Every structure is written in C-alpha cells, then in structure tokens.
Amino acid sequence: MKTEYRKAAAEDAELLTEIYNASFYKDYIRYGECPAYGKTIEMMKLSIIEHPKFLIIYNSEPIGCISCKELKKGEYEIGCLCVIPEYQGKGIGTSAVEFIKSYYSDWKSFSLITPADKSENIRFYTEKCGFYLQSDEMNGNVRVARLILKR
C-alpha cells in the first residue's frame, strides 16, 4: 500500500469538497455545524490559497487531505486532517502528520483543534502523533480541544 502527497491547486477544489464532505458528514450531523462540511467550490478555492493543502493519495486514489498554515516562523497550525471513513484506521493519518513534519522541516510547533468530546481524535493525536492537550475552548457551539506538538 503506497501513500503519496500532492500539493492541491484550484482545479482540485471540487475533489477536495467531496473528500471534506465525506470525511466530516458525521460531525455535521452530530454537532449541527462543521466548518469543514458543506463548502462551495469557490469557498474551497479560497481555502486552498489561505490554508495550503496536500491531497493524500492512497494506492493512486485521492482519499484525504492535510492542510497546514504557518502562523509565524516555525509555528504551524494544522487546519484539517481528513481521511474518508472507509480508509481510516490504516495508518494514513499518522503518515500524513509525519509527512507534514518533514515538509515543514523548520517546525518548532504544530497546533490544531478537534472536538473535545471526540475521544478517538484526541487519542489519535496524543498517542499516535505525540501532541498534548493545551486547552479547550468554544468554537461556535462546539467545545474543542487545542492540541500542540513541540519539537
């Protein structure tokens, strides 16, 4: 099984919208809102510019995305890591975090948020990727955990 990464471009907006919708539909249903779900293609094109994205390609098929934005020198925020449900649990997300750490080789820290009540996400980031819980806060109507990884 081969996992590759390709920087997303504007022409990937429709594909990314499909990947995000497949990946975040359950969150949208669970919370009644999800900023990653239901984006228009135009919204996704803007997001590709503002938050650089990499398509996750597994066995030649695009099945996910990781986006990361530099906040200041060496400090990055992972805006999205998603893998469509049928491909989860295969080590693809862990591989994507390793990819982003090597891509942004000057990193001092990575931060991200995830719903605080999604213990499977918290476990993934803390146990598989080495993040720790920094704080929790409200994001809209959803309590989120802010996680950080420091070098």
DSSP 51: S
Residue 141 pLDDT: 86
pTM: 0.94
Average pLDDT over the chain reads 96
Q: Does the pLDDT at position 150 exceed 90?
A: yes
Residue 140's pLDDT is 84
Report which residue type is found at 38: G
Distance, C-alpha 52 to centroid of its chain: 11
Does 8 score more than 80 pLDDT?
yes
